[in-house]
Amino acid sequence: MRRGWKTVLASAEKIGLRFEGRQQDAALARATLYWCTIAYKRGEAAAARSLALEFWRLDPVFSFTNRNSLICTADCLTTLLPKPLNHALQGAYTRYRLKNG
């Protein structure tokens, strides 16, 4: 996925769009959040935690203010808990989401 993202970035630069410094970090942070979500849903907890740390490093303001990044970070942190507690928290969150939309 990262290779695909770099290809898109290179294509954008070919047509005259320049992403440098903070802009590039912000764009990569958003892509990394997406990859982190996919890794978590596939059960790849270590990869998800690594990607979560990366998007926090790339754009801390986005990570702190974006609802999806906070949820993804919380999900990744629950993977550090013992399995029974992790499953209990996931179940409680699922029930909450179903009840409150």
Q: How many domains does the chain have?
A: 1
Can you read off the two tokens belonging to residue 88? 């209990």
**% of the chain exceeding 90 in pLDDT:** 44
Pick 86 or 33 by higher pLDDT: 33
Question: Is the per-residue pLDDT at 92 higher than 80?
Answer: yes
Residue 63: CB atoms within 10 Å: 22
Can you read off the two tokens belonging to residue 86? 């992790």
Domain that holds residue 69: 2-100
Amino acid at 86: N
Mean pLDDT of all residues belonging to the chain: 86
Q: For the segment 48-78, what is each residue's pLDDT rounded down to a tens digit?
A: 999 999 999 999 999 999 999 998 999 899 8
